[in-house]
A and B are shown apart, each in its own frame.
Chain A
Amino acid sequence: MKVKVNGQEKEVGQNVSAANFLSSIGFDKNSGVVECNLKILKTEELDKVVLKDGDSLEVLRFVGGG
């Protein structure tokens, strides 16, 4: 099945948690914030959320800004 991560489609297997999937593509769950279908997921929720086909993830972090 497919999910979107920051606007890009990615393949993901069945019954994969958001935490495991994001870890597999290089995101440490303590280094930013994740929205799934516009809902903010707390760090502890990432393990509990199982991704579904068509889910849209936004993975965000702080950068320099004025």
Chain B
Amino acid sequence: MEDILNIQGLELKSRIMIGSGKFPNNSLIPEIISASGSEIITVAVRRFDFGNPKENIISFIPKNIKIMPNTSGARNAVEAVRIAKIAQAACATDLIKIEIITDNKYLLPDNYETAKACETLAKENFKVFPYMNADLSAARDMKNAGACAIMPLGSPIGTNRGLEAKAMIEILIEEIKLPIIVDAGIGKPSHACKALEMGCAAVMINTAISSSKNPILMAQAFKNAVAAGRKSFLAGFGETSKAAKASSPLTGFLE
């Protein structure tokens, strides 16, 4: 049976989402999307560069790939809602990744303002994906506000440090009956595999691929790691034990 991730009617075969930031050249984007198997890519909204009017990242994104704008640059819910509406006007999508950050050193999200933005945008029929600090109360607030998935950070954005918030993410998986998508901090395919093994619905990857010396090969590695993690989660793990349990029979030895 096909393993489909269904997020409020958004059906995805792939459990990896790709960020489009920081690639050495945007012309790599189609190959990276293809190598990763991703069906969704995030983009940011910024002021038009009148000094470089031809540069348009959308032209590098294949037509069959869904665009999920983020609200990066927003410092509160009002700004996030404004950016979301601009993004919707620009690409006619109902997907929005809410990203509200006031902390310039660690770039940690403001969960309170994020929950407020969730409420406003969900009421306006956006499919809201809040990027958040892994916290059960805040995740409940976002779910109640109409979020369609929860995107906790594994570790701070761009650090490649992996699942430092693992224990808190496991609580979200257990308690929040929405897809949990780890966003930020995943630096290696093994981190992504672990997230899927734990029961996360998907992962969102940007820096780990864009900062690799070979982004296309790294995108392939992430695709394989995510598939392995998901299959092992579906298969179920054997029990662990303190004492050894022989794999070969302990009888019939040679005399």
B90 to chain A, nearest CB (A): 4
Q: CA A18 – CA B26 in complex, angstroms?
A: 30
In the assembled complex, B23 has its CB within 8 A of some CB on chain A? yes
Task: Determine the chain A residues whose CB is within 8 A of the CB of B47 once the complex forms.
Answer: 6, 58-61
Taking CB atoms, residues of chain B closer than 8 Å to A62 are 43-46, 56-58, 67, 69, 87, 90-91
Cα of A31 to Cα of B46 in the assembled complex, Å: 12
Contact A31 B56 (CB under 8 A): yes
CA distance A65 to B204 in the complex (A): 12
The answer on a CB contact under 8 Å between A66 and B48 is no
Of B1-9, B14-22, B187-195, B233-241, which binds chain A?
A: B14-22
**B38 in the interface, Cβ–Cβ < 8 Å?**
no
The answer to whether the Cβ of B160 comes within 8 Å of any Cβ in the partner chain is no
Q: Does B89 contact A (CB under 8 A)?
A: yes
Q: Are A61 and B45 in contact (CB-based, < 8 A)?
A: yes
Known: A31-B48, A66-B204. 10 other contacts (CB 8 A): A6-B50, A42-B89, A58-B47, A62-B43, A62-B87, A64-B19, A65-B20, A65-B42, A66-B21, A66-B72
Distance in angstroms between the alpha carbons of A23 and B70 in the assembled complex: 27
Would you call B57 and A66 a contact (CB within 8 A)? Answer: no
Q: Is A28 an interface residue (CB 8 A)?
A: yes
* Residue on A nearest B73 in the bound complex, by CB: A65
> Do residues B50 and A66 form an inter-chain contact, with CB atoms below 8 A?
no
Interface residue tally for chain B (C-beta within 8 Å): 36
CB of A58 to closest CB in B, whole Å? 7
List, in ascending order, chain B residues with CB within 8 A of A59's CB.
47-48, 50
Residues of A whose CB lies within 8 Å of any CB of B are: 6, 25-28, 31-33, 35, 38, 40, 42, 58-66
A64: which of B43, B48, B90 is its contact (CB, 8 Å)? B43
List chain B positions with a Cβ less than 8 A from chain A.
Answer: 19-23, 26, 42-50, 53, 56-58, 67, 69-70, 72, 82, 85-87, 89-91, 157, 183-184, 204, 206-207
A-B contact pairs, 29 of them (CB 8 A): A26-B53, A27-B53, A28-B53, A31-B53, A31-B56, A32-B90, A35-B86, A40-B86, A59-B48, A60-B47, A60-B90, A62-B44, A62-B45, A62-B57, A62-B87, A62-B90, A63-B44, A63-B45, A64-B19, A64-B43, A64-B44, A64-B57, A65-B43, A65-B44, A66-B20, A66-B22, A66-B70, A66-B183, A66-B204
Chain A residue with minimal CB distance to B22?
A64
Please report the C-alpha to C-alpha distance between residue A47 and residue B3 in the assembled complex, in whole angstroms.
48
A19 to chain B, nearest CB (A): 14
- A61 adjacent to B90 (CB under 8 Å): yes
* A65-B48 in contact (CB<8A): no
Give Cα A13 to B8, complex, Å: 49
Whether B89 pairs with A66 at a CB distance below 8 angstroms is no
Report the minimum CB–CB distance from B157 to chain A (whole Å): 7
